[in-house]
Chains A and B, each alone.
Chain A
Amino acid sequence: MRFERRAHRSTVLVVIAPVIAVAAALALAGVLIALAGSPVLTAYERILTGAFGSRLAATETLTRAVPLILTGLAAAVAFRARLWNIGAEGQLYLGAIAAAALSAELAGGLPSILQIPILLVAAALAGMALLLIPLWLRLRFSVDEVVTTLLLNFVAILFVSMLIDGVLKDPMAFGWPQSKPIDEDGMLPKLIPRSRLHAGLLLALALAVVVHFVQSRTVFGTRSRAAGLNATAAVFAGVPLGRTLVQVAMISGGLAGLAGAVEVMGVTSYVTTELSPGYGYSGIVVAMLANLHPIGVVLAAIFTAAMFVGADAMSRSMAIPTYIADVTVALSLLAMLVAIFFTQYRIAR
């Protein structure tokens, strides 16, 4: 079988590629559900109603989507410039702990209007700082950032574990290792009463629009794209590669740090090492499903969140492990890769 490059990429193909990929992933996951001896269609139906079937289910899905939009944007911004930031998980944890620490130790007592922005900025800075280390290693020692960002995830989570078991440990938590809680005025307001949905959703949506604007309408956006398409050519064209990558890293790390902040300021109010069920890694899938487009990230994040929330609900009534959601999400990433390939190539006759 040989492939030839398509003369031009049809927009229709690019838009339906993720739909086809998700359908393929769901079909493959169906095989695994059948393997568990359960009726496949009933399982899908329960996933769907579990994710959107009621007011509570829908708000729960959107709540889950908030950190995924932010980590998805973090991955999309970085990958577009070929900065392989696989460290969103660690950046998320540092962001969360920065917000919790600041609220508990310093900013507590400040009115919401001051405290919330301060905590968010601190979280973004913490995320940035963690990504600037591997970027510095890349620029200074030509160390590939994939491995260093991955390894730093483990370091960051252990660091958080050390803090919540030590100086930041909540004395009121009956000995459990969890951080002191965010001050009441530091918590994000709820969007809908009697649900967990919080204002972090608005922040995430606004940031998706801002990122889209920055990438498509500014010099920086063009430079980061050029750096990703062909770094050597970009340098010849006068793109300051180092500076552009530092800016990309600050945005990407900052977004991942914010993901941690909104999760702790919107949902949990304190940090444990179970804060994130892999939001950082799922963000990569979200970004790829969106074909790195910031607005697409929002839709992909809602799909991913729906899979997780729906599978949780489904497994309560059927003998199918909730891991089916992780499998489906991973499969949709692989299927999406193939789908993107076929938007660019076709089978030669």
Chain B
Amino acid sequence: MMDLLDVLFSAGLWAAVLRIATPLILGTLGELLCERAGILNLGIEGIMTFGAMIGWLAVYNGADLWTGMLVAALSGAAFGLLHSLLTVSFGLSQHVSGLGITLFASSLAYYLFRLLVPVVGIPPKILSFQPLNVPGLSDLPFIGPALFTQTAPTYVAMLLAVLMGWVIFRTPLGLAIRMTGETPHAAEAQGINPTAVRYGAVTVGSALMATGGAFLTLSAFDSFIPTMVQGRGWICIALVVFATWRPGRALIGALLFAFFDAFQIRLQTMLTGAIPYQLFLMMPYVLSIAALAATARRARVPQALMQPYRRGER
């Protein structure tokens, strides 16, 4: 019991929470933006994988870390455009198109990685983002090492959650996005172009997902390993429901989720041998399913989610 409290009050746990949460925050915000405009994006898992690979590859070939992030974002935007073409212009099944993009993006990532990076025993490494020293705050006892030893993208991700909350609920653009996700016909009657809004939201949202993937290879780890995304994209989709499509709650949900994940990793090392490690590894997925079951019924889904919009067709 004392051990558990020790874990809870160790700065390392809280530092890990923020680190684990970052890719989830970015992915969840990206998915949330797509869904607010009425498009489910199941491409997220593949887009995160591709972002992780291409961002790492750019840095490996001499680009600096932020350029790596940008390259990842651009690749995400490209997949977003493809998803928009299939689901918005053609009005095809968002489920199947998204899954197709996940299969395509992840297999393309593995293909290019194998092709462009020589096969060696130990995966090649890059110099990843280093912890940012926040003057004054980083030196505080406990709080400093717990909360202010993160890399820059983590802080950017949190600011983005606040920014997206503001855009969605406090700006005309946000109103246009929400209207398009609720009733595209009414949006069109107000002079909004639902097609353009959906294209924009899916493209920007997909770019965000890709940076979430790139965080894994440019900050959390320093090399690319196939399958490293490990279902984080699917967890983000669950987090969007858990957050009831609100960016602020998405931030809280991702942090809460990361807390359980960081805690179970520490529990796992404490209880080595007593309980099979696989049970701990299942926790994030089981937790996501439980969170969905608890919130899905109350959640107010954007009414036009998964409904293709064709002008003049009902």
Contacts and interface: CB of A to CB of B under 8 A. Distances in A.
Nearest to B240: A147
B103 A337 contact: no
Nearest to A281: B103
B289 A137 contact: yes
Interface stretch (A103-111, A161-169, A205-213): A161-169
Interface string B218-245: 0000000000001100110110010000
Contact of A148 (B110, B230, B289, B310): B289
Most buried by A among B237, B241, B278: B278
B96 A323 contact: no
A301 interface: no
A330 interface: yes
A200 B91 CA distance: 39
Contacts of A337: 86, 90, 92-93, 96-97, 100
Contacts of B282: 154-155, 158-159
Given A333-B100, A334-B86, A137 B292 contact: yes
A154 B285 contact: yes
A104 B280 CA distance: 27
B107 A330 contact: yes
Nearest to B234: A150
A216 B66 CA distance: 56
Interface stretch (A10-18, A54-62, A138-146, A250-258): A138-146
Contact of A331 (B97, B104, B310): B104
A166 B238 CA distance: 31
A141 B297 contact: yes
Nearest to B281: A158
A284 B297 CA distance: 28
B231 A151 contact: yes
A90 to B, nearest CB: 10
A151 B103 contact: no
A17 B138 CA distance: 61
Interface in B238-286: 238, 241, 276, 278-279, 281-282, 285-286
Contact of B286 (A155, A166, A285): A155
Contact of A327 (B95, B97, B104): B104
B278 A159 contact: yes
Interface SS of chain B = helix
B288 A143 contact: no
Contacts of B97: 334, 337
Nearest to B276: A162
B115 interface: yes
B279 A162 contact: yes
A149 B237 CA distance: 13
A321 interface: yes
| Chain A: interface size category | 35 or more
Most buried by A among B110, B279, B292: B292
A326 B227 CA distance: 14
B292 A165 contact: no
B296 interface: yes
B104 A146 contact: no
A340 B91 CA distance: 11
Contacts of A320: 115
B103 A155 contact: no
B108 interface: yes
B237 A147 contact: yes
A239 interface: no
Interface in A37-96: 79, 84, 86
B115 A35 contact: yes
A308 to B, nearest CB: 12
A28 B296 CA distance: 40
A285 B100 CA distance: 8
Nearest to A285: B103
Contacts of A147: 234, 237-238, 241, 288, 292
B99 interface: yes
Interface string B26-68: 0000000000000000100000000000000000000000000
B286 A330 contact: no
Contacts of A146: 42, 95, 237
Most buried by B among A137, A162, A165, A323: A323
A260 to B, nearest CB: 18
Interface of B: 42, 82, 86, 89-93, 95-97, 99-101, 103-104, 107-108, 110-111, 114-115, 230-231, 234-235, 237-238, 241, 276, 278-279, 281-282, 285-286, 288-289, 292-293, 296-297, 310
Return the 10 tightest CB-CB contacts between A and B, nearest first.
A326-B107, A321-B114, A330-B103, A162-B278, A330-B104, A323-B111, A143-B296, A333-B100, A158-B278, A151-B285
16 contacts: A3-B90, A32-B108, A32-B111, A84-B95, A137-B296, A143-B292, A147-B241, A147-B288, A151-B238, A155-B285, A158-B281, A162-B279, A329-B107, A330-B100, A338-B90, A341-B92
Given A148-B292, A155-B282, A166-B276, 18 more contacts: A36-B115, A137-B293, A141-B296, A142-B296, A146-B42, A147-B238, A154-B285, A162-B276, A162-B278, A323-B107, A323-B111, A324-B111, A326-B103, A333-B103, A334-B82, A334-B104, A337-B100, A338-B92
